[in-house]
């Protein structure tokens, strides 16, 4: 924590260490330290670090039986493509299936050569950002799309090359992504209060992209990057080490507001309406790429 925490320069480590060792003073086995570790993680104050006991860590990282019902692509009226991109956390097999299904969804939405895109991140609560970027890479377009920035200002760049994500020039896996008909098409990004963590990283990747507008509500508010540290008994310390930054260099560590705030109408008459999607469609159809002659 002292070496890698995002807020390491703001913490009284002598006090935090003293408190943790006092709480763990009677420990006889590793599990006896869990309470002290959890309190220490909370005392970091970054609102994103966490501690997973062995069973929880095994469930989160080891499971391969995950469905992606929310990962969908379709064509909207007027010509835009629609992609709903949920979060994902699990094993490598899970990530591979997510990327395959997601890329199939993009291809399905692009069958009629989408004039623009809706990327719906409202249900994306986070997980691993790289499979998500592997799906939306062709929509994001080629080049630098963001970066991590640590407490000392060191940067680690995210880029899209041949439709697939890279970190500091190294491929995140999955090979080249299938191209879309119009890679520079306008994009409407939908966000909400559940859009968090890695979901916010995808939001950040779209920030600064030309012809891109954000609709909905502000995000959850943890656009920061975590690194997992596996402990000897299978527990995992998930430590927040970096802020997300967009392609312009602007860093984020709080809720990200949309360009156009739209709150769901609570009245029963509006129960089946999706006002956020409607606003995004209206904007897209006003853009030159989707405007009908």
In tens, the pLDDT along 188-234 reads: 999 999 999 999 999 999 999 999 999 999 999 999 999 999 999 99
The whole-number pLDDT of residue 266 equals 79
52-66, 132-146, 171-185, 219-233: range with lowest mean pLDDT: 52-66
Q: How does DSSP classify residue 85?
A: -
Average pLDDT of the residues of the chain:
95
In tens, the pLDDT along 147-156 reads: 999 999 999 9
Q: Please give the Cα distance from 156 to 22 (Å, whole number).
A: 37
Residue 240 class from Cβ within 10 Å (0-12 exposed, 13-18 middle, 19+ buried)? Answer: buried
The whole-number pLDDT of residue 62 equals 67
63-77, 170-184, 238-252: range with lowest mean pLDDT: 63-77
Domains of the chain with bracketed CATH: 1-45 (no CATH), 72-286 (3.90.226.10)
92 backbone dihedrals φ, ψ, rounded to 5°: -60, -35
Ranges of H-type helices in the chain: 13-23, 34-43, 54-62, 92-109, 129-140, 198-206, 275-286
User: What average pLDDT does range 88-100 have in this prediction?
Assistant: 93
Q: Please give the Cα distance from 97 to 117 (Å, whole number).
A: 23
In tens, the pLDDT along 21-79 reads: 999 999 999 999 999 999 999 999 999 999 999 999 988 876 655 678 899 999 999 99
Please give the structure tokens belonging to residue 284.
Answer: 């897209």
User: What average pLDDT does range 119-143 have in this prediction?
Assistant: 97
Residue 291 neighbours by CB distance under 10 Å: 12
289 backbone dihedrals φ, ψ, rounded to 5°: -65, -25
Asked whether residue 100 carries a pLDDT value surpassing 70, the answer given is yes
Across the chain, the runs of DSSP E, i.e. the strands, are 50-52, 72-75, 81-84, 117-120, 143-149, 155-161, 164-167, 170-171, 187-191, 212-216, 224-230, 236-246, 251-252, 260-261
Kindly state the percentage of the chain with pLDDT values over 70. 98
């Amino acid at each position: 924590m002292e070496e890698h925490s995002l807020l390491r320069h703001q913490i009284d480590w002598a006090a935090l260490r003293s408190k943790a060792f006092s709480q763990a003073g009677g420990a006889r086995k590793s599990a006896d330290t869990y309470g002290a570790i959890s309190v220490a993680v909370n005392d970091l104050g970054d609102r994103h670090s966490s501690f997973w006991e062995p069973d929880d860590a095994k469930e989160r990282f080891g499971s391969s039986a995950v469905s992606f019902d929310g990962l969908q692509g379709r064509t909207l009226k007027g010509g835009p493509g629609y992609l709903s991109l949920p979060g994902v956390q699990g094993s490598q097999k899970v990530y591979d299936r997510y990327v395959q299904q997601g890329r199939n969804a993009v291809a399905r939405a692009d069958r009629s050569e989408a004039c623009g895109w809706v990327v719906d991140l409202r249900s994306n609560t986070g997980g691993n950002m790289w499979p998500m970027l592997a799906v939306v890479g062709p929509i994001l377009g080629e080049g630098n799309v963001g970066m991590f920035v640590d407490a000392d200002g060191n940067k680690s760049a995210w880029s899209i090359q041949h439709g697939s994500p890279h970190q500091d020039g190294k491929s995140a896996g999955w090979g080249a992504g299938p191209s879309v008909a119009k890679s520079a098409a306008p994009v409407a990004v939908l966000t909400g209060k559940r859009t968090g963590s890695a979901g916010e990283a995808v939001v950040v990747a779209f920030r600064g992209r030309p012809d891109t507008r954000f609709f909905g509500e502000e995000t959850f508010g943890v656009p920061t990057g975590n690194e997992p540290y596996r402990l000897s008994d299978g527990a995992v310390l998930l430590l927040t080490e970096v802020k997300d930054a967009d392609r312009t260099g602007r860093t984020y560590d709080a809720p990200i507001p949309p360009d156009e705030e739209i709150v769901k109408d609570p009245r029963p008459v509006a129960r089946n309406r999706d006002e956020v999607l409607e606003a995004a469609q209206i904007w897209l159809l006003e853009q030159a790429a989707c405007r009908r002659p």
